[in-house]
Amino acid sequence: MILLNRLSYNFGSNWALKDINLEVGKGEFVFLTGHSGAGKTTLMRLLYGALPVTRGQATVAGFDLHSLKKRKIPELRREVGVVFQDFKILTNRTVFENIALALIVRRMPKSTIDKRVRAIIRALGLEKKTYTLCERLSGGEQQRVAIARSMVVNPKLILADEPTGNLDFDLSMHLMDIFRQFNTHGTTVVMATHSREVLQTIPEARIVHLEDGCIAEPPAHLFMEDE
Ligand SMILES: Nc1ncnc2c1ncn2[C@@H]1O[C@H](COP(=O)(O)OP(=O)(O)OP(=O)(O)O)[C@@H](O)[C@H]1O
Ligand SMILES: [Mg+2]
């Protein structure tokens, strides 16, 4: 699903990613860990075409990102569901509209859109907010809208950047369960997280640890059980 070969990325003189080699197979669940500034978001942004691959090679869902033309990026994004660290939902639209948008641009019939949007709204416990403008939602509710939007298209690959960062424990656990269900049905998931509790929800997942832009051994404390 993802194949990276000596992928590097710089912001001016700052190399945010250095020589990343990584292979993620179809159906895998991968946690991306690392300190703030290690390069997790930069890697995610490269993977869905928000930053250009300027050095090294990257193939995602069959697309060679190095040679990918700008006008082909929407085709890549059709296969990839993304949960951004800062949500990027449309605050002047309702919950329903935000989630439906991804299906509308795919020209799905209205009845199918309605069914799928309602199902995912139910799964994420947002029924009461279906027609609320997103600017009136709490941070955690907005985050759930962002997650719903990434999932509603049944993507081959979900890239989720700290998707449970604003949520309380119970809700994070519930959402991890939903991510896991998607994964069980064959969706590949790459999730950035700082939280050991989140890592522990999917013990069989692979951990890819970034340190200062390089892939490194995950530190032992990530695996330790809570006292
Ligand atoms: N738009 C940008 N312009 C310049 N430098 C950037 C930009 N975005 C990120 N960086 C730099 O790239 C490096 C990696 O940042 P990145 O956002 O990928 O880290 P991260 O691992 O996602 O951190 P966090 O856990 O805080 O989200 C940092 O040194 C950061 O300052
Ligand atoms: Mg980040």
Per-residue pLDDT of the chain (227 residues; tens, 9 = 90+): 999 999 999 999 999 999 999 999 999 999 999 999 999 999 999 999 999 999 999 999 999 999 999 999 989 988 999 998 878 899 999 999 999 998 998 889 999 999 999 999 999 999 999 999 999 999 889 999 999 999 999 999 999 999 988 788 988 998 899 999 999 999 999 999 988 999 999 999 999 999 999 999 998 887 766 54
pLDDT at residue 226, rounded to an integer: 54
Contact (Cβ atoms closer than 8 angstroms) between residue 189 and residue 30: yes
Contact (Cβ atoms closer than 8 angstroms) between residue 32 and residue 19: no
Question: 83: Cβ below 6 Å to ligand 1?
Answer: no
The rounded Å distance from CA 146 to ligand 2 centre is 16
Question: 37: Cβ below 6 Å to ligand 1?
Answer: yes
Q: At 138, which CATH number? A: 3.40.50.300
pLDDT at residue 227, rounded to an integer: 46
Question: 42: Cβ below 6 Å to ligand 1?
Answer: yes
Residue with tokens 């300027």: 54
Which region, left, alpha or beta, applies to residue 153 given φ > 0 means left and ψ of -120 to 50 means alpha? alpha
In angstroms, the CA 211 to CA 36 distance is 9
The rounded Å distance from CA 71 to ligand 2 centre is 26
Q: Does residue 68 sit within a domain?
A: yes
Domain count, the chain: 1
Question: 209: Cβ below 6 Å to ligand 1?
Answer: no
Residue having the nearest C-alpha atom to atom 26 of ligand 1: 36
In angstroms, the CA 10 to CA 186 distance is 33
The rounded Å distance from CA 42 to ligand 1 centre is 6
The pair of three-digit structure tokens given for residue 29, joined into one six-digit string: 């669940």
Closest to 191 (Cα-Cα) out of 85, 38, 67: 85
Closest atom of ligand 1 relative to the 44 alpha carbon? 18
The rounded Å distance from CA 218 to ligand 2 centre is 17
Q: Does residue 17 sit within a domain?
A: yes
Question: 116: Cβ below 6 Å to ligand 1?
Answer: no
Closest to 179 (Cα-Cα) out of 101, 102, 81: 81
Range of the domain at 85: 2-222
Q: Does residue 128 sit within a domain?
A: yes
Burial readout 85-103 (b: 16 or more C-beta within 10 A, e: otherwise): bebebeeebbbbbbbbbbb
Q: Does residue 65 sit within a domain?
A: yes
Question: 32: Cβ below 6 Å to ligand 1?
Answer: no
The pair of three-digit structure tokens given for residue 82, joined into one six-digit string: 């993304």
pLDDT at residue 223, rounded to an integer: 74
Question: 193: Cβ below 6 Å to ligand 1?
Answer: no
Q: Does residue 227 sit within a domain?
A: no
In angstroms, the CA 164 to CA 169 distance is 9
pLDDT at residue 60, rounded to an integer: 97
In angstroms, the CA 206 to CA 93 distance is 37
Closest atom of ligand 1 relative to the 42 alpha carbon? 18
Q: Does residue 153 sit within a domain?
A: yes
Closest atom of ligand 1 relative to the 43 alpha carbon? 18
